[in-house]
Amino acid sequence: MRRGLSLPLVLAAALSAACSSDPSGTAEEDLDAGSDDTADVDWEAEFDSVFQTDRVPVIRIDFHEPGAFDAMVEAAEADPDDTPYYAADFAFDDETVENVGVRLKGNSSLWSSGPDQRKSFKVHFEEFVDGQRFHHVDRLNLHNGFMDPSLMRESLAYGLANDLDLVAPRSAHALVYVDGELHGLFTMVQQIDSRFLAERFGEEDDADEGNLYKCCDGCPLAYWGDDPAYYQGFPPEGIPSPPCDDATDECGLQLKTNEDDPETNDLADVVQLTKAIDDVLQGDGDTATLEAIFDVEHFVRFQAWSLALSNLDSYFGSAHNFYLYRRPTDGRFQFVPWDVNLAYGTFECPESCSGQEPTLETDLFFPCFDETAAGMDRPKPLAAIVATVPEYRDLYCDTLRDMLETAYTAADQREKIEALDAVIGEARQAEAILTQPPFDFTCEDYVTAQGDAADVTFGAKVIHALDRFNQDRIANIEAQLDAACP
């Protein structure tokens, strides 16, 4: 990292580097993918070799069939919910894995980018070859930095989450070529799966063998009754949550582990959780019952992190983009962060959200919600519990104050921005990346988006510069705390 320079000087240096031209390539050689025996796997070392934070590797995706990429884009445009895998060879610097599956991924990042603009990818190493892995990685997400000219939001948000012991996925950056054509600088994000659980929770006493649920859409964790189907995207009539069109859709809570175990896959634990939440909210139950199956203290940190960064494309906005893991070690659920590309004030809540500003003015206690919009019960039950149960409200206030004194400070965030710029700015220079799709952000936009002098605009959309956002948001949080936490 370029220490000793002020942020404006660092950004000026980055602008000069990012706009210069010195392309370079990387040699490739074959890699034996190896077996899937995980008994003696050093998960940290394996994942460190993929998610490298001190440099930017080059990834090359070469499809087997001519025109496969165009066909993949056409298929996604015809049906964004059905994005099939296509066969390709995958090279990571000088390592190669043959015959992997590659598909498009994303929601707004997919449909908002045109046919000729870069897309987000999911690479599935085992799709066509059973047991094939890359450094024991099964799936790898390549995100296109949708609406983020700084290309830093995901890495910064996940980094802060891990600093707060929230157990978040790893992230790093990579330059991605598709069929020999540079598609730009992408953010690699670790898949939340059994391998993630093994690394982060360990394998002793089956700590990685619990139920892992992904919230695909409409998961406020309100109690809707004892029918498990209600929580899988088929709520009872009259519930303002988006139902699945049919059983093949992914919405609601989807079990991602233990799917074939009839003793654990009936969603009884989810029904139990939502009932305990509802009992506390309605005054019919005590907090001890909730705490026996839900890590409230962890959730308080999760809420503090989410709302400090105005991460509203989440449980606190559209009631999605998170995982729930029930730890076998103590039987308690905890949230796992996911899909944070719109953190730092980029996600806009619906206009009907009580006139609330969606970014810097995000309410710390009753975040953006709408009674009628899909998935937005009023309010989110867990957010309401934190706001109304005195012991949890006090814990939340103390957690936010501690965050502002330690993990989330303008100076610390500025240092992390500089460190990221030192790595990805050099990569932009090496590959002569002057503009970055999907919205053709220029290298000037990239630099502006890091600082505190101005925001980046395109059309009617304003994207907050990161340093400016952090300074203003911290001041806003302090003002809210003074008013709400005497």
**415 belongs to a structural domain:** no
What number of H helices and E strands is found in the chain? 14, 16
Q: Which domain holds residue 202?
A: 196-405
**211 belongs to a structural domain:** yes
Q: Is residue 350 over pLDDT 60?
A: no
Q: Which of 166, 195, 224 is the last residue of a domain?
A: 195
What number of residues does the chain have? Answer: 486
Residue 30 and residue 144 in one domain = yes
Q: What is the pTM of this model?
A: 0.89
Residue 130 and residue 264 in one domain = no
Residue 63 and residue 133 in one domain = yes
Please compute the mean of the pLDDT values over residues 132-149 and round it to a whole number.
Answer: 93
Separation of alpha carbons 90 and 161, rounded Å: 30
Q: Is residue 109 over pLDDT 80?
A: no
Q: Is residue 376 over pLDDT 60?
A: no
Q: What percent of the chain has pLDDT over 70?
A: 83
Q: Give the single-character DSSP code of 236.
A: P
- Which residue stretches of 248-389 are H helix? 268-282, 287-293, 296-308, 381-388
Task: With CA atoms as reference, report the closest residue to 134 among 200, 36, 57.
Answer: 36
**283 belongs to a structural domain:** yes
Residue 155 and residue 259 in one domain = no
**145 belongs to a structural domain:** yes
Task: With CA atoms as reference, report the closest residue to 306 among 294, 293, 291, 321.
Answer: 321
**472 belongs to a structural domain:** no
Higher local confidence (pLDDT), 201 or 456: 201
Residue 59 and residue 167 in one domain = yes
**pLDDT bucket at 13, cuts 50 / 70 / 90:** very low
Total structural domains in the chain? 2
Please compute the mean of the pLDDT values over residues 315-341 and round it to a whole number.
Answer: 94
Residue 371 and residue 264 in one domain = yes
Q: Which of 195, 225, 247 is the last residue of a domain?
A: 195
Cis preceding-peptide flag for 379 (omega within 30 of 0): yes
**354 belongs to a structural domain:** yes
At 451 the pLDDT is 93
Contact 125, 132 (CB under 8 A): yes
Higher local confidence (pLDDT), 96 or 1: 96
Burial of residue 371, with CB atoms counted within 10 A of its CB: 0-12 exposed, 13-18 middle, 19 or more buried: exposed
At 378 the pLDDT is 52
Q: Is residue 93 over pLDDT 50?
A: yes
At 337 the pLDDT is 97
Please compute the mean of the pLDDT values over residues 167-177 and round it to a whole number.
Answer: 96
Residue 216 and residue 272 in one domain = yes
| Range of 10-14, 104-108, 455-459 with top mean pLDDT | 455-459
At 255 the pLDDT is 96
Strand 95-105 versus strand 29-30 pairing type:
parallel
Separation of alpha carbons 319 and 335, rounded Å: 13
Please compute the mean of the pLDDT values over residues 75-102 and round it to a whole number.
Answer: 90
Residue 351 and residue 297 in one domain = yes
**pLDDT bucket at 358, cuts 50 / 70 / 90:** low
Q: Is residue 17 over pLDDT 80?
A: no
Please compute the mean of the pLDDT values over residues 2-10 and round it to a whole number.
Answer: 36
Strand 58-63 versus strand 171-178 pairing type:
parallel
| Element housing 253 (H / E) | strand 252-255
Q: Which of 374, 405, 436 is the last residue of a domain?
A: 405
Higher local confidence (pLDDT), 291 or 357: 291
Q: Is residue 197 over pLDDT 70?
A: yes
**In this predicted model, what pLDDT tens digit does every residue of 218-275 receive, in sequence order?**
898 999 999 999 999 888 887 766 667 666 567 899 999 999 999 999 999 999 999 9
Q: With b meaning 16 or more CB within 10 Å and e meaning fewer, what string describes 391-402?
A: ebbebbbebbee
**pLDDT bucket at 391, cuts 50 / 70 / 90:** very high
At 42 the pLDDT is 92
Q: Is residue 326 over pLDDT 60?
A: yes
At 374 the pLDDT is 45
Residue 114 and residue 221 in one domain = no
Residue 211 and residue 132 in one domain = no
Between the alpha carbon of residue 460 and those of residues 107, 250, 456, 457, 463, the distances in Å are: 21, 32, 11, 7, 10
3 state SS of 176: strand
Separation of alpha carbons 114 and 107, rounded Å: 13
**In this predicted model, what pLDDT tens digit does every residue of 400-443 receive, in sequence order?**
999 999 999 999 999 999 999 999 998 887 787 878 776 788 88
At 10 the pLDDT is 39
Residue 41 and residue 180 in one domain = yes
**14 belongs to a structural domain:** no
**447 belongs to a structural domain:** no
Residue 223 and residue 172 in one domain = no
**pLDDT bucket at 35, cuts 50 / 70 / 90:** very low
Residues 6+ apart with CB under 8 A from 234: 243, 244, 252
